[in-house]
Amino acid sequence: MRFGRSILLLVGASVLTAPRATGAAELTCSSSATLEALVACIRDQMPGRSSGVFLPPSPTEMEAWRSVVSAMMYGGCDFVLPPSLWSFARVRSFRDADNGRPYCLLLETADWNGDGVVDRGFGAFIVDPFAERELSHQVSHPIADAGTEIQAITVFKKTRSRTFLLAGAHRHAIAGGRWFHGHSMSSDVAHNTATMFHSAHAAITSFYGWKPWWAVQWHGMAENTCESVDVYLSHGVDAAPVAGDKILELRNNLLAHQPTWRIGVPGSRGCALNATSNVQGRLLNDGASTGWVPGGSPSGWVPGGSPSGWSFGRPAAAHARRFVHIEQHPWVRDADRWIAAVLATWP
């Protein structure tokens, strides 16, 4: 019933949509035959470092983006986008040439100035309607964390996970400081709730409610960062994981297949990249700390929310440890070396 209402609202709203201007450029990646080629194409046409290109979405656009993501989660793909998205985005089906499986794709496509780069930096979202694992593989720093976008889409594909979420611009596409929240303008989606990336994450969170699922966010660290480890796993908090924790299970499964890897977790020393300021992690670990509640604002924040209200480092409740944050050095960003461990951790 909920899915039906979502589609009716989307289609009904779109009846009033004016057609896109004649001759407008569209970057649809229509020639991509596989998910890996598709994601590489999307990455190559997104705003790069210091490009100055990132347009913060309006509340109306974030509401519409979230509604589309929700409809896709419920199995929808053959519908027209709401008016606020029609001029710059598309939703369509995609069939991977390697495995023959169908997917649903939402992506930004508009390139009004014809420079080969999308105009806003909103990113993409992919759903496998016949998934076997309730995992959301997320890449918040494409280009900057080199290779993570291809690594994550391959793991998504070969583990038959539910969703793949990709940011739409280099984290430093526009100038700005590190700390963002609410209305702030920043292309670093891991630290800014007012983005399409976070809106999609909030929609996924609402879809599952308290049902078991995990958001796996793939990051990359520099070679001279945390030199005593190759991989560092956390939940977005600085508390040591407890027995039975998924990141301990993932670490053990990785070591079973990659025994030479040095894998750290909070409490093991050697690294402090605990992602305590990651807003997607904060939403899952402690929704109130980002001003978000289920059924709340579409962007994941409410007026009045501020960084000063966050409780960085506060251990999350055991049932809320659905956020898995992966930091890794360049030489371990090979999807094929992760797949067996992911399959074993989430059978």
Mind listing the pLDDT tens digit for each residue in 56-97?
Answer: 899 999 999 999 999 999 999 999 999 999 999 999 999 999
Give CA–CA dist 279/194, Å, rounded: 10
Compute φ and ψ for 257, nearest 5 degrees.
-105, -25
Residue 308 or 212, more confident: 212
Give CA–CA dist 282/316, Å, rounded: 9
Residue 327 has pLDDT above 80, yes or no: yes
- Residue 24: the pLDDT is 58
Residue 257 has pLDDT above 50, yes or no: yes
Give CA–CA dist 68/10, Å, rounded: 8
Give CA–CA dist 262/58, Å, rounded: 43
- Residue 81: the pLDDT is 96
Q: Compute the mean pLDDT over every residue in the chain, rounded to the nearest whole number.
A: 84
% of the chain with per-residue pLDDT over 90: 66
Q: pTM score, two decimals?
A: 0.85
Residue 246 has pLDDT above 60, yes or no: yes
Report residue 256's pLDDT band, with 50, 70 and 90 as the boundaries: very high
Report residue 287's pLDDT band, with 50, 70 and 90 as the boundaries: low
